[in-house]
Amino acid sequence: MGKITTITGPMFSGKTTELLRLKSREEVAKRHSFVFKPKLDNRYDEKSIVNHNGIKEEAIVVNSPLEILKNVEEYLSSQRSKEIPLVNIFIDEVQFFTSDIIDVILEVSKKGINVFTCGLNQTFEGKPFPFKDKKEHIGTLMALSDFLIHLDAVCNHCGETATKTYRLGESKETVVLGGTDSYQARCTKCFRK
Ligand SMILES: [Zn+2]
């Protein structure tokens, strides 16, 4: 069985940076990985994962969790996989997939492949972040993970430890893409204010 590692936390907590760090460790160890990201997020670069510091990693852009499974299965049935076995997959911005991402992650891990994911812990309203179809949320994935990395950020208002994402503006939509222009990391006290 592969191990499932979930990295979570508010915006600006370095989730993608941590995902890329773990990926580069695997590279040093010469273990082959695939990197996936959902189609939705094109804030910085369509085909790369980019953290807020601009560090890049090529990614396979997919529309659905099943496409991840398809990519993995295709590779496993290829000749190349006998020479270079697939050891890990990395999934950025996991919260932007539908809930069947959970089944896909479990399925991939059953094939003996480690799965590393990162995603937001809470919505701008302080609720567990739901997957796109709202059937499951990030908490379910956290509970099913073998390892959890919970990152925090620095409160934009007071400098305390921040675990929440505060959104500037009036929109009530759960998903509004943006960076520092639309979001702040906040501690619980400043979040409630
Ligand atoms: Zn604060």
Q: Does the structure show a pLDDT above 60 at 43?
A: no
Domain-embedded: residue 94: yes
Residue 118 bridge partners (DSSP): 7
Q: How far does the centroid of ligand 1 lie from the alpha carbon of residue 180, in Å?
A: 16
DSSP 24-85: HHHHHTT-EEEEEEETT--SS-SSEEE-TT--EEE-EEESSHHHHHHHHHHHHTSSHHHHS-
Between residues 41 and 178, the one the model is more confident about: 178
Whether residue 128 lies inside any domain: the answer is: yes
Tell me if 161 is assigned to some domain. no
**112 found inside a domain:** yes
Query: Containing domain of residue 137, as a range?
Result: 4-151
The pLDDT of 135-150, averaged and rounded, is 98
Q: Is residue 159 part of a domain?
A: no
Average pLDDT over residues 83-94: 96
93 in catalytic set: yes
Q: For residue 85, is it within any domain?
A: yes
Average of per-residue pLDDT across 110-132: 97
**149's tokens:** 């990395």
Q: What is the H or E stretch that residue 76 is in?
A: helix 65-76
Cα(43) to centroid(ligand 1), Å: 26
The enclosing domain of 23 has a CATH number of: 3.40.50.300
CA of 70 to the centre of ligand 1 (A): 44
Inside any domain, residue 191: no
Q: % helix / strand / coil in the chain, to the nearest 5? A: 30, 30, 45
Mean pLDDT of 100-124: 97
Q: Ramachandran region of residue 36, left (φ > 0), alpha (ψ -120 to 50) or beta?
A: beta
Q: How many domains does the chain have?
A: 1
Residue 183: inside a domain = no
Choose the catalytic residue: 73, 93, 136, 170.
93
